Structure 1
Amino acid sequence: MRMLEIVFEKILWNSRLMVIVAVIASLLLSLLLFVITAVDVVALLTHVGDYVNASAEARKILKIEMVAHTVGAIDGFLLATILLIFSLGLYELFISDIDDAKNSERSSKVLVINSLDDLKEKLAKVILMILVVTFFEVSLSMGFTEALDLMYFAFGILMVSLALYFGSKSSH
């Protein structure tokens, strides 16, 4: 009976290595998002000439579009960062400590994860920033036709402000 228990516990302990699939997948998705977003930024930069040569009326439209694309790029980089933090966190929690990160003088506290709660807290902060950026991106294209639309927008700003306030309070 004791031998069966030892074998079962060994299998159970080594099953944590299945997490490596999630680590590799998250890392690849992160890399892919960094590349896709960087390509989008380069494409955006190629349209700077269009803005310079445009009429004053066309500049207003182009400016809003360029700001929206810039905010979208920030969103892409933030999501890629979430996937990177998730990948590093899962690896450190289930597989092994990352020795280079521990020994590095420039080691970031963002990447040091000691528990699932640490990982959730760090991910929640980045997700909150994505939501804020997305709210800003959507607000650029909003059309206010009634006073109630403006009230909803103000309420949204209040909610975003409260979320940022409480998010910063939780880290202290």
Structure 2
Amino acid sequence: MELLEKYFEKMLWGSRFMVLAAVISSLLLSLALFVITAIDVGSLMAHLGDYLNATIEARKVLKIEMVAHAVGAIDGFLLATILLIFSLGLYELFISDIDEAQNSKRSSKVLVINSLDDLKSKLAKVILMILVVTFFEVSLSMAFTDALDLVYFAFGILMVSLALYFSHRAEH
């Protein structure tokens, strides 16, 4: 019976390597999002000439569009960062400490993950930032038709502010 228990526990401990599928997938998706977002930023920069050559009236419209695209790029980079943190965190929690990070003088506190709660907390902060950026991006294209729209917008700003306040307060 002890032999069976020992074999089962060895198999059970080895099953943690299934997490490598999530680690590799998240890492590849993060890389893809970094590349896609960088290409989008390059495309935005290519249209800078359109802005410079536009009339004053056209610049107003282009400015809003360009700011929205820039905010979208921030969103893309934040999402890629979430996936990178998730990938590194899962690896450190289930497989092994990353020796290169441990020995590095430039070791980032963002990537120090000691438990699932640490990982969840770090991911929640980045997700909150994505929501804030998305709210800002959507607010650029909002059209206020009546006073109630303005009240809803103000309520949204209040909710974002409270979320940021409570997330900051939870750190201390």
Query: Which TM-score band applies after superposition, normalised by the shorter structure?
Result: over 0.9
1:145 Cα deviation (Å)? 0.2
Aligned position for 1:156? 156
Which secondary structure does the structure 1 equivalent of 2:142 belong to?
A: coil
Aligned position for 2:145? 145
When the two structures are superposed, what TM-score results if normalisation uses the length of structure 1? 1.00
Provide the C-alpha distance between the structure 2 equivalents of 1:157 and 1:91, rounded to a whole number of angstroms: 37
Aligned position for 1:32? 32
Q: Confirm whether residue 167 of structure 1 aligns to residue 153 of structure 2.
A: no
Provide the C-alpha distance between the structure 2 equivalents of 1:84 and 1:171, rounded to a whole number of angstroms: 22
- Cα displacement string for residues 23-78 of structure 1 (whole angstroms, at most 9, x for unaligned residues): 00000000000000000000000011000000000000000000000000000000
The gaps in structure 1 that reach 5 residues or longer are: none
Aligned position for 1:70? 70
Which secondary structure does the structure 1 equivalent of 2:97 belong to?
A: coil
Provide the C-alpha distance between the structure 1 equivalents of 2:24 and 2:170, rounded to a whole number of angstroms: 30
Provide the C-alpha distance between the structure 1 equivalents of 2:5 and 2:171, rounded to a whole number of angstroms: 42
Provide the C-alpha distance between the structure 2 equivalents of 1:112 and 1:19, rounded to a whole number of angstroms: 18
Provide the C-alpha distance between the structure 2 equivalents of 1:105 and 1:166, rounded to a whole number of angstroms: 32
Provide the C-alpha distance between the structure 1 equivalents of 2:131 and 2:68, rounded to a whole number of angstroms: 14
Matches within 5 A, 1:74-85: 74-85=74-85
Aligned residue type for 2:144: F
Matches within 5 A, 1:1-172: 1-172=1-172
- Cα displacement string for residues 6-39 of structure 1 (whole angstroms, at most 9, x for unaligned residues): 0000000000000000000000000000000000
When the two structures are superposed, what TM-score results if normalisation uses the length of structure 2? 1.00
1:171 Cα deviation (Å)? 1.1
**Identity percentage of aligned residues:** 80
The gaps in structure 2 that reach 5 residues or longer are: none
Which secondary structure does the structure 2 equivalent of 1:96 belong to?
A: coil
Provide the C-alpha distance between the structure 1 equivalents of 2:2 and 2:74, rounded to a whole number of angstroms: 56
